[in-house]
Chains A and B, each alone.
Chain A
Amino acid sequence: MSSHRIRLTVNGVAREILAPANRTLAQLLREDLGLTGTKQGCGEGDCGSCTVLLDGEPVNSCLVLAVQAHGHEVLTIEGLAQGRELHPIQQAFVELGGIQCGFCTPGMILSAKALLDKTKRPSQEQIRRALSGNLCRCTGYQKIVEAVSEAGRRLSRGRR
């Protein structure tokens, strides 16, 4: 099996990793870089728990080969907080009960970030559509939608 020298930016830091061809981006993040905030659920692109932002757009990192991420920029859940201060989306999830078991949360928050980066004050429908690739088995969707909506309000007021 071929192995590849992969250069990519993860959470703003340039990284270089030697990885076999069959390494997924999810594995590279979790196993090579120890960034276990990215969760691996179904492994086939249905659940969205492994969602990360690739050049700002949400993707299922279980269905991206690490070698395909060469030269690109990845944002994981670990890249959101500034020191001990949570990102406004994270803070809204905590305050509004958008987190139950927490397994879907990193993916939900990254999908929400991709939405809010483009649409400052999304409608409920826009939020639901943006999160439609993220499953919450605790079924806490309503609180999650409310948290994203509140995060949008806070971000558009420029508060952190």
Chain B
Amino acid sequence: MLLPKFDYHQPRDLPAACGLLAELGPEARVIAGGTDLLVNLKHGRIRPKALVGLERLEELTGLDSGRGRLFIGARTSAAHLAASRSLGGGLRLLAQAAGQLGSPQVRNRATIGGNLCTARPAAELPPPLLCLDARALLAGPQGQREVALSAFFKGPGLTVLGPDEIMRGVVIPRPGLGGGGAYLKLGLRRAMEISLVNVAAFLQLAPDGRTIAQARVALGAVAPTPILSPRAAQALIGQRAGDKLFAAAAEAAARDARPIDDHRGSAAYRRDMVRVLARRALEQAWDQARGRRGGKS
């Protein structure tokens, strides 16, 4: 399959890139890893006159810890996240999700920024990032703004990102001791698969090691955007961790799911699988939060 014609720009820094986007207008698209954009170009789903490549923007690279926060540059690849030593402990669920994205070849190119900005409802990285209370850093001609990831997605393929804005990265508050999480994906096969349902769960235990101080459950592929489940969080926070509680919270998560019927699965099946995956994810999150090794998926 051949690519249509376009001009290619390689701005040297973020201000230049945003300026270029402002100048080129809606005819331009940003490209990082290209695993999504180039496929759409080949299929003729989009016909931009120009692509703005991010490969020279150093501001978008690297993982950087400081003041209890972790910055992840938008150009960081899924493969890098999957193997990163910075993503241990309570951040492990992000590495787990990154390691299940696409194939090894795709993971080496696909970026965290691309995975968020394409805003696919079934994407791997939004659920763990929602669970970790991530904020998106968006750079524009007027400077940088920070948006909670839970307010970033607007619909399938739609975000709050302005036409002249570029995602610089995400920041995550680093969980303390007693934080644990898990990511589980259900697909029909184990590689190059779009999730039927994916679920991430995060628990922060109180110092007593049993009371749940903070909890988040995020769901993918069961709503127009990846979503947090308010009912699950409400069921969990302040309670004593345990299997019965997790089963009840998983039921609550299933009630927050708004799945559709499609060729990959029915709405009823998806809702039921939310319940199953949420319970397992919570059990694994708890194991990790208590310092036990996570169980099998």
Contacts and interface: CB of A to CB of B under 8 A. Distances in A.
Contacts of A43: 1, 42
B103 A132 contact: yes
A157 to B, nearest CB: 26
A20 B3 CA distance: 11
Contacts of B5: 1, 20-22
B55 A44 contact: no
Contacts, number: 89
Contact of A2 (B7, B55, B79): B7
B42 A44 contact: yes
A92 to B, nearest CB: 20
Interface stretch (A52-60, A98-106, A141-149): A52-60
B103 A63 contact: no
B3 A60 contact: no
Among A63, A67, A111, A114, the most chain B Cβ lie within 10 Å of the Cβ of: A63
A45 interface: yes
B105 A59 contact: yes
A67 B8 CA distance: 8
Interface in A3-19: 4
Interface string B271-293: 00000000000000000000000
B211 interface: no
Interface string B215-256: 000000000000000000000000000000000000000000
A130 interface: yes
B53 A67 contact: yes
Interface residues of B, number: 31
B191 A57 contact: no
Interface in B1-23: 1-10
B105 A4 contact: no
A62 B38 CA distance: 9
B8 A133 contact: no
Contacts of A68: 34, 53, 55
Contact of B106 (A20, A45, A129): A45
Interface in A33-85: 43-46, 48, 51, 54, 57-60, 62-65, 67-68
A17 to B, nearest CB: 15
Contact of A132 (B35, B43, B191): B191
A24 interface: yes
A42 to B, nearest CB: 8
B102 interface: yes
Nearest to A56: B108
Contacts of B145: none
Contacts of A48: 103, 105
A30 B4 CA distance: 19
Given A114-B104, A133-B102, A64 B109 contact: yes
B109 A4 contact: no
B139 interface: no
6 contacts: A1-B6, A44-B42, A51-B105, A111-B105, A132-B192, A133-B103
Closest 9 CB pairs of A and B: A133-B103, A132-B191, A21-B8, A43-B1, A22-B3, A1-B5, A2-B7, A133-B105, A57-B108
